[in-house]
């Protein structure tokens, strides 16, 4: 599918402008935003539905109380669940439409949305909602941290699983039911997108991203340069010519020995301590519009390793860092 109409031309993307986009608060004030979690309890997009239990497992754990004890202003806003649907496509379309609305409402309330999946089809709703909220101000950047490209269309997918298609949909390619959530497309422009940690993909999705000129940081480059240098470049890409940026993290981006509780584990992944350090304090960034964590599968977790990794990540992200 050819991308639909483009978002309107962007304005200057300074920190103060980002603060104005959210209302009267300054960028400095917005860096203090409370965090509200939106659960996406669905595995409709994956072959293994175990990720549907991810949000409830996290909600029932000590994750939020432990972060609150660290002076992180965080609370659980809601958990969205799929209704009865005739097909995974119809179910995901409805649920992602609801998620997009919830993300927009959270931002309007002056809060920072943290979406917890569920399979990675949640990204269609998360970033459609964020892009819709800021559409009049300008485009959004997106940093996608994942073992996979998630950029298939119905024509290229070998599995038919929708959790392998969210990035393509956000870029304006794929099933109209997903591409047109929010009634405009594309949600993200290729120049404002980068992928980190990629090590498992098929030719169809790679060809699409290559044709669009999307920056991809494969694991070989990360091993050579280090995650800190890669993340610095990614943040520059996501902020250049944009009004703000988001980060989407699939927990399969990490080494399965550190994070076994994921939907689709892939060997030789990122080490979470390095990413903790590279993104320490990111929740206080005045231009961060939302954060997403996807594909936690508690049925596959061993000794709660993935749950603990998530807690450590969020603790690092919320930590105040002195310049």
CA dist 238 → 132, 188, 190 (Å): 17, 10, 10
Selected catalytic residue, list 250, 276, 292, 301: 250
Selected catalytic residue, list 102, 146, 177, 292: 146
120 is catalytic: yes
Selected catalytic residue, list 36, 102, 119, 120: 120
146 is catalytic: yes
Selected catalytic residue, list 102, 177, 205, 252: 252
192 is catalytic: no
Q: Report whether 34 contacts 109 (CB < 8 A).
A: no
148 is catalytic: yes
Query: Cβ neighbours of residue 303 under 8 Å, at least 6 residues apart?
Result: none
At 317, list the tokens.
């992200």
- Strands in 188-198's sheet, in edge-to-edge order, are 74-80, 35-40, 112-117, 288-294, 244-250, 140-145, 188-198, 215-218
Q: From the centroid of its chain, how far is CA 295?
A: 11
Selected catalytic residue, list 36, 119, 163, 192: 163
Identify the bridge partners of residue 143 per DSSP, sorted by sequence position.
Answer: 194, 247
Selected catalytic residue, list 36, 102, 119, 148: 148
163 is catalytic: yes
Selected catalytic residue, list 150, 177, 276, 292: 150
CA 280/CA 81 separation, integer angstroms = 31
155 is catalytic: no
20 is catalytic: no
Buried b (16+ CB within 10 A) or exposed e, 178-196: bbbbbebbbbbbbbbbbbb
Catalytic positions are 120, 146, 148, 150, 163, 250, 252, 295
């Amino acid at each position: 599918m050819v991308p639909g109409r483009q978002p309107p031309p962007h304005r200057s993307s300074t920190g103060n402008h980002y603060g104005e986009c959210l209302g009267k608060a300054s960028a400095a004030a917005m860096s203090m935003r409370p965090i509200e979690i939106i659960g996406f309890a669905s595995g409709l997009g994956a072959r293994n539905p175990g990720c549907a239990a991810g949000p409830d497992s996290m909600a029932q754990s000590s994750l939020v109380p432990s972060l609150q004890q660290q002076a992180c202003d965080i609370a659980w806003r809601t958990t969205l669940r799929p209704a009865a649907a005739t097909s995974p496509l119809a179910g995901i379309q409805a649920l992602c439409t609801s998620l997009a609305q919830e993300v927009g409402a959270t931002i309007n309330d002056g809060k920072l949305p943290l979406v917890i999946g569920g399979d990675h089809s949640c990204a269609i709703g998360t970033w459609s909602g964020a892009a819709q909220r800021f559409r009049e101000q300008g485009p959004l950047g997106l940093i996608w941290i994942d073992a996979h490209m998630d950029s298939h269309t119905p024509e290229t997918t070998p599995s038919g699983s929708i959790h392998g298609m969210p990035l393509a949909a956000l870029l304006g390619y794929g099933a109209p039911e997903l591409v047109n959530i929010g009634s405009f497309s594309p949600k993200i422009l290729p120049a404002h997108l980068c992928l980190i940690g990629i090590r498992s993909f098929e030719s169809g999705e790679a060809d699409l991203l290559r044709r669009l000129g999307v920056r991809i940081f494969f694991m070989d480059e990360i091993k050579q340069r280090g995650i800190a240098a890669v993340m610095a470049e990614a943040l520059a890409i996501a902020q250049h010519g944009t009004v703000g940026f988001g980060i989407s993290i699939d927990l399969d981006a990490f080494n399965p020995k550190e994070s076994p509780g994921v939907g689709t584990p892939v060997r030789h992944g990122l080490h979470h301590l390095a990413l903790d350090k590279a993104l320490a304090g990111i929740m206080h960034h005045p231009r961060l519009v939302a954060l997403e964590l996807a594909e936690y599968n508690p049925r596959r977790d061993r000794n709660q390793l993935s749950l603990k990794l998530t807690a450590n990540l969020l603790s690092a992200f919320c930590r105040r860092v002195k310049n």
